[in-house]
Structure formats: structure tokens, C-alpha cells
Structure 1
């Protein structure tokens, strides 16, 4: 299961870095980096949410679209894993 978590984290990091590159923002991003602190705007957060849904092929439930879940790559990863775990456990 740890490999799955690492894969999710790497894919989320790639999405965040791609959005930052589009905005010509060059900054180091790690799992604990606060997304607003590295330069993501509210529009970027919407793009990130859509990117996560496309990347992992699922719809984020309305109840999970919270500031807490979009604080960092790590919080996003946790939410994604929690959403996908029932499907992968089957």
C-alpha cells in the first residue's frame, strides 16, 4: 500500500509543479509545502482539483472539497488515497 501512496504523492506533485510552471513560478515544492505559500491562487486550486479528478479518474465528493484537503500535497494525497482505497481494496 505504501507504493500506492508514493505514486499518488508523485502524481500530485507533478500536477502542482505543472500549474506553477504555467504561471512561470519557479519554487521548490515538497509534500508539506503549503500550496498557497508556493504561489497557487484560488483559480489554480480549481485547476488542481480538476487535474486531480482527471489524473485519478474519479470525482472528488463535494464534502471533500475543503481548504484542509487542499493545504498541501500531503493533505491532498491523504484525501485521494481515502477516496480510492475502497476501489483498490476490492
Structure 2
């Protein structure tokens, strides 16, 4: 299970770095980094949400699309693990 969690975090970091690069934002992103503080705006957040859905082949429920769930890599990781966990039952 630990490898699965690490894999999810690695994939989320990769998606975040990709979106930052597309938005010409140069930053060292850590799991706890606040994405707004790094410079990601609302359009970047929408891009991020769409890329996360594509990366993990899921559609996020409307209730999960909140600023809190997209404030950091760690928050997104928790949200994705919850979604993947509920989808496999």
C-alpha cells in the first residue's frame, strides 16, 4: 500500500510541475507547498483539476472540487486516494 501512495504522490507532483511549467511558473514544489503561494491562479487550478482527472482516469465529484482539495500536492493526494479507494470497493 505504501508504494501505491508514493506512486500517487509522484504522479500528482508530476502533474503539478507540468501545469506550473505551462504557466511559466518556476518553483520548487514540495508536497506541502501551497499552490496559490507559488503563483498558480484560478485558470491554472482548472487546468490542474482537468489534468489530475486525466492522469488518474477519474471524474471528480462536484463536492470534491474545492479550494481546500487543491491547495497543495498533499491535499490532492488525499482526495485522489479517497476517490480511488471508494471506486475499488
TM-score by length of 1: 0.93
Q: Secondary structure at the match of 2:69?
A: coil
Q: Secondary structure at the match of 1:36?
A: helix
Using the TM superposition, give the Cα deviation of residue 57 of structure 1 relative to its aligned residue in structure 2, in angstroms.
0.3
Output the aligned Cα RMSD: 1.1
- Mind listing any 5+ residue stretches in structure 2 that lack a counterpart? none
Contact kept? 2:23, 2:44, Cα under 8 Å: no
How many pairs does the alignment contain?
89
- Mind listing any 5+ residue stretches in structure 1 that lack a counterpart? none
2: CA distance, partners of 1:3 / 1:67: 27
TM-score by length of 2: 0.94
Q: Which has a greater percent of helix?
A: 2
